[in-house]
């Protein structure tokens, strides 16, 4: 029973054990975007993927609630054929690389989401290609 519980917890916490790969660095080198391809989940209409944005070399960020954070993770959904994406959830962390305390978290219902067109030449386009496996 303990072994089954351990496996279940590992599966549900997969984002915290992620193998993050750098996919984009800002022009100033102060903001780094990572993803973990093992988090990709496909269904008929959408593809979901987790992304980590790290502000290691920037002063701390402050959100609308006054929370101070150094990184955040987002679960994004992509409509591959339409080349659109939407944010499913977002978690702000007090430390770099998704570590430290959670200072903010939000989940967005898929029915209420705003789908945004992917802009050519941005990190969103890179993520679309990774999520939708476009060469």
Question: Would 7 be classed as within a structural domain?
Answer: no
pLDDT at 13: 42
Tokens of 126: 């890179």
CATH number of residue 44's parent domain? 2.40.128.710
Total number of domains in the chain? 1
pLDDT tier at 51, thresholds 50, 70, 90? very high
What is the domain extent for residue 43? Answer: 18-131
Question: Would 126 be classed as within a structural domain?
Answer: yes
Question: Would 123 be classed as within a structural domain?
Answer: yes
- Round to whole Å and give the CA distance between 60 and 54: 10
The answer to whether residues 23 and 35 touch, using CB atoms and an 8 Å cutoff, is yes
Question: Would 55 be classed as within a structural domain?
Answer: yes
pLDDT at 96: 94
């Amino acid at each position: 029973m303990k072994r089954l519980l351990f496996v279940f917890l590992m599966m549900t916490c997969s984002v915290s054990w992620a193998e993050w790969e750098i996919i984009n660095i800002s022009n100033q080198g102060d903001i780094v975007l990572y993803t973990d391809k093992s988090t990709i989940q496909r269904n008929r209409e959408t593809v979901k993927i987790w992304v980590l944005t790290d502000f290691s070399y920037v002063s701390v960020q402050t959100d609308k609630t006054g929370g101070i954070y150094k990184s955040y993770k987002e679960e994004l959904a992509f409509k591959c054929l339409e080349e659109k994406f939407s944010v499913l959830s977002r978690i702000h962390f007090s430390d770099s690389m998704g570590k430290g305390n959670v200072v903010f978290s939000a989940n967005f219902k898929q029915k209420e989401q705003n789908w945004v067109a992917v802009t050519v030449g941005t990190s969103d386009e890179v993520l679309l290609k990774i999520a939708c496996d476009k060469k």
